[in-house]
Amino acid sequence: MIIFVVVFTFFYNGTSEQKKEFIDKFILLKFPKEEQSYVYFALILIVIVFVSTLNFYRNRLKIKEERIEELTKDIDKLHSVLLK
């Protein structure tokens, strides 16, 4: 959310030259040779964060599913005891 606010503020208050430079660098990825490694570093970092987040939520989902199975078994045991 913070990124969207900053980008919106930049596009609202920035000059046309600043906007053109931003679009060239960060959307079209037109960088000079000396800044080329920055692009690769940023892309690798984004992929690592994305994969880490995906694994984190996948593990949380697995834990919740296991807990649901445990509770379902407990409820079934309770039903069998109550119905006897």
Q: What pLDDT score was predicted for residue 74? A: 94
Q: What pLDDT score was predicted for residue 72? A: 96
Rounded to an integer, what distance in angstroms lies between the CA atom of residue 69 and that of residue 63?
10
- Under DSSP, is residue 32 helix (H, G, I), strand (E, B) or coil? coil
Q: Where are the domains of the chain?
A: 1-30, 33-84
* In contact, 37 and 29? CB cutoff 8 Å: no
Tens-of-pLDDT digits for all 84 residues of the chain?
888 888 888 878 888 898 888 888 777 777 777 666 777 788 899 999 999 999 999 999 999 999 999 999 999 999 988 887
Q: What is the DSSP letter of 84?
A: -
Q: What pLDDT score was predicted for residue 55? A: 97
